[in-house]
Amino acid sequence: MSESAPPQVPDRVSVVVIAYNDAVHVGDAIRSALAQGDAVGEVVVVDDASGDDTPGVLAGFADEPRVRPLIRTENSGGCGTPRNDGVAAAVHPYVLFLDSDDLLVPGAVDGLLAVATAERADVVAGVCVRRELPEGRETVWAPSLYDVSHGATLPGTVLEGIEEHPEFVLDTLSVNKLYRRDFLDAHAIRFPDGAFHYEDFVFSARVQAAAPRLAVTDVPVYVWHVRRQAATLSISLRRASLANWEHRIAAHAAVVDVFRAADRPALALAAQTKFLDYDLPMYLRELPQRTGSYRTDWWKATRAHLAGFDAAAVAAAQAPSRWLHAALTALVDAPEGGELTRFVELAAPTPRLVPPYPRAEDGTPVLAAAPADVPLDGLAELAPAELPVAVDGEVAVGGTTRLTLTVHDLYGRVGAQRPTALKVEFTERVSAEELPVEAPLVPAAGGWTATVRVPTARLLRPGRLAAWSLHAELRYEDGSTGRVEVRAPRGFAGRRGVVAGRLGRPLLVQVVASARRGLVLRLAGGAVGARQVLSGRFKRLLAMR
């Protein structure tokens, strides 16, 4: 293993890998960088004073001259300092970051370099995929920016700064981008040092504030491994700790300061709007899982942070986010019970307002009841696709799976659009396979009902547990549609058991609500199901979800 810097070659890349107590994965990360080929001139591996066998794994690359270890003798407490060490040691014109438990996609560096050269770009941003382990389910990070199949329009464009596309502040990752090193040096762009969590947020803001020539591509670059059952969770998964939220707030405040100091007021506003539309709902919808003291302290910290938000940033947020902001600033004490449930449901990825539908004394629809009425400003102007409609689901499983749905009329807005039919989309959460089923709507008290039936055999997957999430697409008389997640009306209490399937074979079934109260159906059947009953493995699988 060589600790001396290799000679600089034009258009080569220094890959900076950071590691701390990750001997199990760091070797795979390094190999994914080396496999990029000659375009990678060096892999600078910064070991942040690991106490496990990470140094031993690095020693195993002694015969690879491109691997340069930097061994810190004192742990920094965060990810920023080791990344900064890696940038300082890098010798090639471009820098790419890689965490020890993730991977670079084959061909990533060649693809990014080709774009950087052709477009004379300071920064090239590519696609990052989040891979849930052990299931292997994959989703594109920030699909509104990068996933063309979901309507993204930026891939293939070159931006002179992002002020004309302030929505790009949503991408706070540092690892899905190739950076021209002299651009970082010229603007003194580095990560916050020490025990500063969500350091990516601040680094990305510093890059964006410097108005880089930014090429956005659909080049697959990075695989972000999400290990929810790991012994030590990554920072982004430690949301059960109030400190995690406080760190996120501090990082967001620093982002806004970066943009203001650079005289980028539009980006500062966009960052506040992003916080309302993205960060706030992510944590709010998990509040029922937390202790009462956590909720009290979370409410106080959040209200204090939101007090400094610009009115223009709030006005630019989506309607459900505006309503949640109004509730947080109006209610001094954290809500409990049914009132908290309404906030949680409104914070879901597809927001929904659940019954009852209260009104103020003057008849105005409100989110929270007196004494702190929170008007649902803008509700009347929402398009059908934007309405936060609540659709409840009840499941009965046997040889046939029957799903009974109730569509609630949202302050009369759904009825005014004249709904005609409903399509249910069963989506298998591991394979992403979709199974659509349509049904007519039948008027009922306070809304409509619909029933769909699916042969249970179509929902089983050989040799494993199948997990299905459910969405409903409402169709209206004028041809417009609105898509919402089917909710579990009884909240977080699940039902599990064994039922008789086709030909009397046992089926293992669990009907449960996700953290955001979406309905999830899990099934295993046949010989596999019987073995799981006998061994207790099925219970362990459920406990892991």
Is residue 5 helix, strand or coil? coil
pLDDT at 183 over 60: yes
Torsion sign (Cα): 253, 258, 262, 265: negative
Q: What does the pLDDT average to over 144-157?
A: 95
Quickly count: other Cβ atoms within 10 Å of residue 62's Cβ.
11
pLDDT score of 491 = 59
> Tell me: the pLDDT tens digits for 269-287?
999 999 999 999 999 998 9
Q: Who has greater pLDDT, 342 or 222?
A: 222
Tokens of 139: 């989703």
Is there a contact between 49 and 58 (Cβ–Cβ < 8 Å)? Answer: no
For CA atoms 385, 387, 388, 393, the dihedral sign is negative
* pLDDT tops 90 at residue 538: no
- 285-332 per-position pLDDT tens digit: 989 889 999 999 999 999 999 999 999 999 999 999 999 999 999 888
Q: Are strands 67-71 and 177-180 parallel, antiparallel or unpaired?
A: unpaired
| 3-class DSSP assignment, residue 362 | coil
d(Cα 152, Cα 145) in Å, to the nearest integer?
5
Q: Among residues 242, 244, 317, 247, which one has the least CA distance to residue 278?
A: 317
pLDDT (average), residues 508-529: 78
Q: Which residue has the tokens 């996700």?
A: 514
Is the pLDDT higher at 9 or at 29?
29
Per-residue model confidence (pLDDT) at position 398: 82
Among 80-89, 395-404, 413-422, which stretch is predicted with the lowest mean pLDDT?
Answer: 395-404
**Model confidence at 530, in pLDDT bands (50, 70, 90)?**
very low
- Comparing CA positions, the residue from 411, 325, 317 lying closest to residue 366 is 411
Mode of pairing for the β-strands spanning 213-227 and 123-133: parallel
Model pLDDT, residue 513: 83
Confidence of residue 493 (pLDDT cuts 50, 70, 90): very low
What pLDDT was estimated at residue 544? 41
Look at residue 531 in the predicted model and tell me its pLDDT. Answer: 54
Mean pLDDT within 173-189: 98
Range picked from 117-131, 239-253, 323-337 for highest mean pLDDT: 117-131
Interatomic CA distance for residues 511 and 514, integer angstroms: 10
Structure tokens, 459: 């929902």
The confidence band for 511, taking pLDDT boundaries of 50, 70 and 90, is: confident
| CA distances (Å), origin 197, targets 55, 251, 258, 272, 334 | 24, 7, 16, 19, 26
Between CA 260 and CA 130 the distance in angstroms is 31
Exposed / middle / buried, residue 99 (Cβ in 10 Å: 0-12, 13-18, 19+): buried
Across the strands, what pairs with 464? 461
Residues forming beta bridges with residue 396, ordered by sequence position? 402
pLDDT confidence bin for 501, thresholds 50/70/90:
low
**CB atoms < 10 A from the CB of 540, how many?**
10
Give bridge partners of residue 365 from the DSSP assignment: 359
Q: Give which of 236, 344, 242, 251 is closest to 296, Cα–Cα.
A: 242
Higher pLDDT, 234 or 58: 58
Residues 104-119 have a mean pLDDT of: 97
For the entire predicted model, the pTM comes to 0.89
Which residues touch 445 (CB under 8 Å, ≥6 apart)?
Answer: none
Tokens of 283: 């944590």
Asked whether residue 41 carries a pLDDT value surpassing 60, the answer given is yes
> Average pLDDT of 361-370?
83
In the predicted structure, residue 217 carries a pLDDT above the cut 70: yes
Helix, coil or strand: residue 267: helix
Q: Does 421 score more than 60 pLDDT?
A: yes
